[in-house]
């Protein structure tokens, strides 16, 4: 009997185990989970709805959505990509739906649709599940022919040390999906306001995030901020989460903003500047931004807007500067960048270069994506790759017991 141990009962672990049994039913597969609950992160993801993948319709280059690991995933997607994942779940009894923002969720809008699917298939295929079973040394698994590590991210790095001692390079993990703390009371008093099309940017870099931006009681959140936190994760960690932040409150270019303001001054000369916004922004935010840019002159009429006022207002709308004063965890989700360096694995099979028949899948690898279903897609792709690699290796080498 050929035996495979899967260390970690999360998304990658279950997807790997189930696919391994489908490809090779006679193999014995056991999932070892250190806690008393499996698939805990799947349950809380996407606000409890599980954003399980993305249509990738708006992705021109994988680097847009995978700050780390995009080159490897481009290769692995040839074997199993988002379309394959979509088809896999639907074929296994989980109807999916694609939202307007290209995020893919179970049609039931409930993460338990995914969880129940995995648990049902695990029972159907006789996958063994050992809870409260911590594995931190290969000597605990001497009776297994293949071992797959799918332990997820390790925020403090402690869970990676045993892998490092075996000769794997480990990239120190840091958070990569978080919101920004901004200590500016006038801004945070606008909590709950959403700007649908903003751009968040770290000045002096090419790092930015686009999309809806939410003002919160602690600072800023929303897809634009979360995307930027992924892109700038390591830079922000090195700076102690104390960095300047530039916000473009409109998708319009600076020259276009100026043109709109000039036209408004001509078309609506008698209207009060602070109460009439020609840009698609919530009124309370417009009032805040005009006062931030012009102070007392925010109460003037549009016809009184002079060149200096114009420049200040355009700059505030197109390049509004804040100071990041810290980070906050995004809901109950916690994603890290870092983990087992990709140089430590075979890029075609994800087998360890240091230990034969040892494989890695999911967030334990130094792969992470922005918010929007991309991290789960990386888990499905790497887990499928490992399952196929184990079966191929077994057939080629003729491992028997």
CA dist., res. 159 & res. 297, Å (int): 57
3-7 and 28-32: which strand pairing? parallel
Helix axes 82-91, 374-397, angle to 10 degrees: 80
Specify the residue for token string 């995978």. 66
Residue 343 pLDDT more than 80?
A: yes
DSSP characters for 245-288? EEEE-SSS-HHHHHHHHHHHHHHSTTSBGGG--SSSS-HHHHHH
Which pair of tokens denotes residue 41? 């992160």
**For residue 327, which of 173, 154, 153, 178 has the smallest C-alpha distance?**
178
Residue predicted with more confidence, 293 or 371: 293
Confidence at 398, pLDDT banded by 50, 70, 90: low
What residues pair up with 106 in beta bridges, in sequence order? 96
- What is the model's pLDDT at position 16? 98
Q: How far lies 228's CA from each of 66, 177, 245, 265, in Å?
A: 12, 9, 10, 35
CA dist., res. 43 & res. 40, Å (int): 5
DSSP characters for 140-209? GGTT-SEEEE-----TTSGGGHHHHTTT--EEEEEE-SEEEE---HHHHTTTT-EEEEEEEE-TTSS-EE
Cα dihedral 242→248→251→252 (10° resolution): -150
What average pLDDT does the segment 39-68 reach? 95
Q: What pLDDT digit, counting tens, does each position of 301-333 carry?
A: 999 999 999 999 999 999 999 999 999 876 545
Confidence at 401, pLDDT banded by 50, 70, 90: very low
Residue 399 pLDDT more than 60?
A: no
Which pair of tokens denotes residue 78? 């040839």
Please tell me whether residue 138 adopts helix, strand or coil conformation. helix
Q: What pLDDT digit, counting tens, does each position of 101-117 carry?
A: 999 999 999 999 999 99
Q: What pLDDT digit, counting tens, does each position of 224-271 carry?
A: 999 999 999 999 999 999 999 999 999 999 999 999 999 999 999 999
**For residue 245, which of 202, 305, 288, 301 has the smallest C-alpha distance?**
202
- What is the model's pLDDT at position 284? 97
pTM for the whole thing? 0.88
CA dist., res. 19 & res. 23, Å (int): 6
Cα dihedral 310→312→313→317 (10° resolution): 130
Q: What is the mean pLDDT of the chain?
A: 95
CA dist., res. 344 & res. 367, Å (int): 13
Task: For residue 34, give every residue at least 6 positions away whose Cβ sits within 8 Å of its Cβ, in sequence order, or none.
Answer: 8, 132, 133, 134, 135, 151
Confidence at 73, pLDDT banded by 50, 70, 90: very high
Specify the residue for token string 């199993």. 80
CA dist., res. 287 & res. 321, Å (int): 17
H or E stretch covering 237? helix 233-238
Q: What pLDDT digit, counting tens, does each position of 294-303 carry?
A: 999 999 999 9
Let me know: does 220 contact 360? Beta carbons within 8 Å.
no
146-149 and 3-7: which strand pairing? parallel
**For residue 174, which of 326, 328, 341, 337 has the smallest C-alpha distance?**
337
Let me know: does 74 contact 65? Beta carbons within 8 Å.
no
Confidence at 123, pLDDT banded by 50, 70, 90: very high
């Amino acid at each position: 009997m050929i035996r495979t141990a899967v260390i970690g009962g999360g998304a990658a672990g279950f997807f790997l185990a189930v696919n391994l049994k489908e490809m090779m039913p006679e193999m014995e597969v056991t999932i070892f989970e250190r806690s008393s609950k499996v698939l805990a992160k799947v349950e809380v993801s996407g606000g409890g709805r599980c954003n399980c993948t993305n249509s990738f319709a708006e992705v021109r280059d994988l680097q847009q959505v995978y700050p780390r690991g995009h080159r490897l995933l481009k290769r692995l997607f040839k074997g199993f990509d988002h379309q394959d994942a979509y088809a896999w779940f639907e074929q296994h009894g989980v109807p999916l739906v694609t939202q307007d923002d290209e995020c893919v969720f179970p049609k039931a809008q409930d993460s338990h649709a995914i969880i129940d699917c995995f648990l049902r298939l695990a029972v159907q295929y006789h996958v063994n599940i050992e809870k409260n079973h911590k594995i931190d040394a290969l000597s605990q698994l001497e009776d297994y022919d293949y071992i797959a590590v799918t332990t997820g991210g390790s925020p403090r790095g402690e869970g990676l040390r045993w892998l490092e001692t075996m000769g794997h390079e480990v990239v120190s993990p840091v958070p990569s999906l978080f919101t920004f703390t901004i200590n500016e009371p006038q801004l945070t008093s606008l909590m709950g306001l959403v700007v649908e099309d903003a751009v968040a940017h770290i000045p002096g870099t090419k790092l930015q995030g686009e999309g809806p931006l939410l003002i919160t009681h602690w600072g800023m959140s929303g897809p634009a901020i979360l995307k930027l936190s992924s892109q700038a994760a390591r830079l922000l960690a090195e700076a102690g989460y104390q960095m300047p932040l530039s916000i473009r409150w409109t998708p319009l270019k600076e020259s276009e903003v100026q043109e709109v303001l000039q036209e408004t001054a001509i078309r609506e000369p008698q209207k009060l500047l602070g109460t009439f916004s020609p840009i698609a922004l919530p009124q309370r935010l417009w009032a805040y931004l005009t006062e931030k840019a012009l102070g007392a002159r925010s109460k003037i009429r549009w016809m009184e807007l002079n060149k200096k006022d114009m420049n200040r207002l355009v700059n505030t709308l197109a390049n509004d500067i804040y100071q990041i004063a810290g980070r906050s965890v995004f809901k109950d989700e916690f994603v890290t960048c870092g983990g087992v360096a990709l140089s430590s694995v075979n890029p075609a099979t994800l087998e360890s270069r240091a230990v034969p028949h040892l494989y890695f899948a999911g967030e334990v690898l130094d792969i992470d994506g922005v918010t929007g279903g991309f991290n789960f897609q990386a888990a499905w792709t790497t887990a499928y790759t490992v399952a196929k690699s184990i079966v191929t290796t077994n057939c080629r080498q003729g491992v028997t017991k």
